[in-house]
Amino acid sequence: MRDGTTTATKMQALVVGLITMFGLAPIASAGASTADDAAVSQGADEPAEVGAQPMDGDGEERENVTIRVMKHVCTPSVQNIDDFESVDPNGDGQTTFADKVLACPTVVQPGDEYVDGAVSFDDKHEMQFEIEDENGDVHTIEDATFQQQQVCESEDASEDEDAATAALGADVSGDGDQDDCLDTSLYVYEGVADGEVTVTETQTPGLTEPGALEFTPQALNPNNDADTLLEEENEVFADDNMVELRTTEDDNGAITLHLYNFAVCPTVTATANDGPTNRLSWSAVDEADSYHVYRATADGEMEQIATVDGNTTTFDDGDVEEDVTYRYQVTAMVDGEETEACNTAEVTAIPVFSSGAAVASAAVLGIGVYAATRRTS
């Protein structure tokens, strides 16, 4: 953080910014402008009568709720829940919600626009979330309202700053400057009948798989969104692409789901054998039609050297010179789309008839290179 900014101001800015980031600030065009923030004015901090039907802002029995979906696609460095829980893009030894958004940028559909200048995913993808409500009605993403918004780093938090550009007040990207904005756009589903509600991701964005569900932290804004989960295991919805809610448990009738998808890509290792030959092995990708093998010398650019059948997860590169260091990447082709390369493996070819084989270091090159761009005019 820059000199001259007090710790209290920075912390206030961070809280304000993160509250906005996760859909709790007013969203005027979405028709749910005060749903979360109205909890205090509606007396949500007072114990409700057990079994009582939730009330709306007019004191009437609540019939409908609003569900917001913010979709994130993680970089190749985040392939599982352990990776997700330990992301640390700015290297400060902590994992925050801002860190997770930076490592897993938001993604939107074609036709919707990222905030100009904000860090977001590097492309747009078709996706679908079907919400079946208490009445059996199904709401699709075509029924939802797209809400474009961002949250930005700033030295100071301004009291009258617009909610869509509220200050983070921290160098979350770790680049030494406070000039980054994170796109936090989302989709707002209104008129969802209150009761048992199922949210199903029926079309994943790109070559990804459902990985993690998170709610807005209590420390940032009092809410009980997590109480709506019917099953605790839905906190990670990777198994069935589904989240089941009992929305009547929510105090203010507005639930924000932060859905993170993990990268699908092969992880490669390399071993130097006599010959000289470099043996590559990689993790399988479900439904892969084929794999592309790329190679470069230490200072060279990656070039494709082979295409391997989708049922094969090894390749022997015999076109190498001894004592030369090579870097390898492997991608998968699935339904005509090529995945990212999860990592880069490095190995030095050994002389012919040398004793034993050298296994490439497990250290991965290029991990954490963001599949994100900063949109500029």
Is it the case that residue 13 has pLDDT exceeding 50? no
Kindly write down the DSSP assignment for every residue of 116-176, as one continuous string: TTSEEESS----EEEEE-TTS-EE-GGGSEEE--EEE--SS--TT--GGG-B--S-TT-SS
Q: How far is CA 233 from CA 114, 240, 354, in A?
A: 32, 11, 52
Q: Kindly state whether residue 129 falls inside one of the protein's structural domains.
A: yes
Structure tokens at 72: 């994130």
β-pairing verdict for 345-348 and 372-374: unpaired
The helix/strand/coil state of 256 is strand
d(CA 21, CA 17): 6
- Determine the pLDDT at residue 97: 78
228 in a structural domain: yes
Which residue intervals of the chain are DSSP H helices? 7-21, 81-85, 97-103
- Both tokens of 247, joined, read 């929305």
Distance CA 109, CA 140 (A): 13
77 touches 206 (CB < 8 A):
no
Q: Give the pLDDT confidence score for residue 29 in this predicted structure.
A: 29
**Does one domain contain both 257 and 293?**
no
pTM of the model: 0.72
For the sheet with 64-73, list strands across it: 145-147, 186-193, 64-73, 254-263, 208-214
User: Using an 8 Å Cβ cutoff, are 202 and 232 in contact?
Assistant: no
The residue out of 232, 263, 294 marking a domain boundary is 263
Query: Are the CB atoms for 205 and 140 separated by under 8 Å?
Result: no
Is the pLDDT reported for residue 25 higher than 70?
A: no
Residues 167, 289 within the same domain: no
Kindly tell me if the per-residue pLDDT of 81 is higher than 60: yes
Domain hosting 290: range is 268-366
Whether residues 237 and 155 fall in one domain: yes
Residues 207 and 127 placed together within one structural domain of the fold: yes
Most confident of 17-31, 43-57, 70-84: 70-84
pLDDT digits (tens, 9 = 90+) for 33-42: 333 332 222 2
Domain count within the chain: 2
Kindly report, residue by residue over 148-200, the tens digit of the pLDDT: 988 776 655 444 444 334 445 555 556 666 567 888 899 999 999 999 999 99
